[in-house]
Amino acid sequence: SAKEVILTRHTGADAGILTLTLNRPKAKNALSRNLVKDFRAALEEIRFDNDARVVVLRSSVAGVFCAGADLKERAGMTPQEVSQFLHSMKMAFRELESLPQPTIAAIDGAALGGGFEMSLCCDLRVAGPRALLGLPETSLAIIPGAGGTLRLTKLIGPSQTKALVFTARRLGPFPAMAMGIVNDMVEHPECMDEGKPADQEAAYERALEWAREILPNGPVAVRMAKRAIDHASTVDPSTGLDVEQLCYAQVIPTEDRLEGLRAFKEKRKPIYKGC
């Protein structure tokens, strides 16, 4: 069967950018066993790819980022199969979150339940004009169960998280931006007037702009910064400072660090190799 997650390596000036595309149009990218399997395989490829510097996660489906857990597939599962599936979904999210490279979610449509939780595992989020983010679980008489209660609380605090979860409300790009859930948004373009197809490319193009801004910076430095910042919110301050010191120590012996100093002296742009 066709791959439900497509990994694309960009070339030329964009070499180092990888795009991961959720591609299950018939079910609005709902997270099925098969999609999660493809997703995890792609993440494993990215994790050990030394040439991968920035990852953009997007959807190929108009008007949808990801509709969350596949509610139909789930209806036919035994309780044990449900547990196994939820475990592999949560593992996938941990694997996404712990990628060494920076990750950017381009959201231009519904990102609901597990779909929203997936985007919370990315470092940055960009909303397109059709973005619709929400945790509808309480309306299904369940609660967010793939990290949503923790990751959203870390991002925007407990009270804002409760407001979203208790109401099951869906947020468009403006409120998502105002609440600090997304880092950037693309405004409603003229071409989105009634009856016109969804503009799936706008958020992706903006996400690529962010990727291109990250791309020229020291690859080891960017990875180490991610690691240090991720520890900052999970450990006590003294351990956090220790971790920062250890991450800093990783960049000291790199050739790139010397290149950075040389380029500064010679008033030119540095060219980093990632070592």
- Active site amino acids: 69, 114, 117, 137
Q: Which two tokens stand for residue 251?
A: 């960049």
Q: What is the DSSP letter of 57?
A: E
Phi and psi dihedrals of 247, rounded to 5? -70, -40
Amino acid (one-letter) located at 49: D
Nearer to ligand HXC, 63 or 260 (CB): 63
Strands of the sheet with 170-171, listed across from one edge? 63-66, 109-112, 132-134, 170-171
Nearer to ligand HXC, 41 or 143 (CB): 143
Q: How far is the CB of 142 from ligand HXC (least distance, A)?
A: 7
Distance CA 231, CA 225 (A): 10
Distance CA 68, CA 116 (A): 7
Distance CA 132, CA 116 (A): 9
Contact 171, 181 (CB under 8 A): yes
Nearer to ligand HXC, 143 or 261 (CB): 143
Q: How far is the CB of 4 from ligand HXC (least distance, A)?
A: 13
Nearer to ligand HXC, 143 or 249 (CB): 143
Give the footprint of ligand HXC on this chain (CB under 6 A). 27-28, 30, 63-64, 67-72, 86, 110, 112-114, 136-137, 140, 145-146
In 3-state terms, what secondary structure has residue 58?
Answer: strand
Q: Which two tokens stand for residue 95?
A: 């694997």
Distance CA 231, CA 224 (A): 11
Nearer to ligand HXC, 47 or 90 (CB): 90
Contact 58, 36 (CB under 8 A): no
Q: How far is the CB of 177 from ligand HXC (least distance, A)?
A: 20
Amino acid (one-letter) located at 91: M
Q: How far is the CB of 155 from ligand HXC (least distance, A)?
A: 17
Alpha helices, H only, 157-218? 158-167, 173-178, 201-214
Distance CA 175, CA 12 (A): 37
Nearer to ligand HXC, 27 or 77 (CB): 27
> Residue 136, Cβ neighbours under 10 Å: how many?
20
Q: How far is the CB of 140 from ligand HXC (least distance, A)?
A: 6
Q: How far is the CB of 134 from ligand HXC (least distance, A)?
A: 9
